[in-house]
């Protein structure tokens, strides 16, 4: 009866555009992956952490995380895969027979709080076998068809109008029913393993962007618990600025 956290850090951070992997980018002199690991450990409910790192950087990532005295729980580092899904699978392979709960968390969400980690693990321990944090969305969301449709013919006499990429709207989900989901996501280990096994044997057009989606694909129940603003994902330079604000706020 232990909880293992898979901390995904194997991405390259293309959209951030730095010359080092995103997880190694620093805020206040501390790499994002270490910020995330510290909060997982501080929750008091995580027994070990497996960090998935860019292939070839295991020793570098081990140095920055495992030597951080504030982490204080055992940290292992494993090479990630070409997709986030493959990276999570690589981490999951290191779960032991006693690990009955698995958390999957993005190093790109460095300031997800220890309280959020506890909330997710509590929900799993209460019997929910797949738990994701989520927040209400502020924008109205529309589903659209693929952008590579033949362009609509330009109305005559409108000049450049025809060059605008226009995506036909399919539907508008009720905003009150929508949640933007975050990590850490928490699972019963056997269920998550089954979900990843099934996904690995299934041909899909697009890789899963979160683990709960793989559980949903099995037809199993997933529940949402309250997420938080501080768990925002760092994707662009703007997010680094926002995350820094949250870091300063949390220190007060």
- Angstrom distances, CA of residue 243 to CA of 83, 93, 113: 24, 31, 12
15 contacts ligand CTP (rule: CB under 6 A): yes
Which string of x and - marks every residue 68-97 that binds ligand CTP (by CB under 6 A)?
Answer: ------------xxxxx--x----------
CB-CB contact of 143 with 171 (8 Å): yes
Which residue, 21 or 133, is less far from Mg ion as judged by CB? 21
From the number of C-beta atoms within 10 Å of its C-beta (0-12, 13-18, 19+), residue 218 rates as: middle
Q: Tell me the three state secondary structure of residue 132.
A: strand
The β-bridge partners of 171 are 143
| Residues at the site binding Mg ion, with contacts judged by CB under 5 A | 11
Specify the stretch interacting with ligand CTP by CB under 6 A; choose among 10-18, 56-64, 188-196, 240-248.
10-18
H or E element at residue 59 = helix 58-66
* d(C-alpha 9, C-alpha 54), whole Å: 7
Question: Shortest approach of ligand CTP to residue 162 CB, angstroms?
Answer: 31
- Binders in 18-57 for ligand CTP, by CB under 6 A: 22-23, 52
The region of 64-72, 106-114, 133-141, 199-207 touching ligand CTP under the rule CB under 6 A is 106-114
User: Shortest Cβ distance from residue 11 to Mg ion (Å)?
Assistant: 5
- Residues in the site for ligand CTP, rule: CB under 6 A? 8-15, 22-23, 52, 80-84, 87, 106-108, 233, 235
């Amino acid at each position: 009866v232990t909880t293992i956290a898979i901390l995904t850090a194997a991405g390259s951070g293309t959209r951030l555009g730095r010359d080092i992997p995103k997880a190694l980018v620093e805020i206040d002199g501390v790499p994002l992956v270490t910020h995330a690991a510290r909060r997982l450990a501080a929750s008091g409910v995580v027994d070990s952490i497996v960090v998935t790192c860019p292939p070839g950087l295991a020793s570098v990532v081990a140095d920055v995380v495992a030597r951080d005295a504030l982490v204080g729980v055992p940290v292992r580092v494993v090479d990630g895969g070409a997709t986030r899904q493959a990276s999570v699978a690589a981490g999951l392979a290191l779960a032991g027979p006693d690990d009955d709960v698995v958390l999957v968390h993005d190093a790109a969400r460095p300031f997800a709080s220890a309280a959020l980690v506890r909330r997710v693990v509590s929900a799993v321990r209460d019997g929910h076998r797949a738990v994701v944090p989520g927040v209400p969305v502020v924008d109205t969301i529309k589903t659209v068809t693929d952008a590579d449709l033949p362009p609509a013919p330009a109305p005559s006499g409108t000049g450049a109008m025809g060059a605008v990429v226009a995506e036909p709207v399919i539907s508008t989900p009720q905003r009150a029913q929508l949640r933007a989901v975050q990590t850490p996501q928490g699972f019963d280990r056997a269920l998550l393993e089954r979900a990843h096994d099934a996904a690995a044997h299934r041909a899909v057009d697009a890789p899963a962007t979160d683990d709960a989606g793989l559980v949903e694909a099995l037809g199993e129940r997933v529940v949402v618990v309250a997420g938080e603003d501080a768990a925002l994902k760092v994707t662009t330079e703007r997010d680094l600025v926002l995350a820094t604000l949250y870091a300063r706020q949390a220190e007060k």
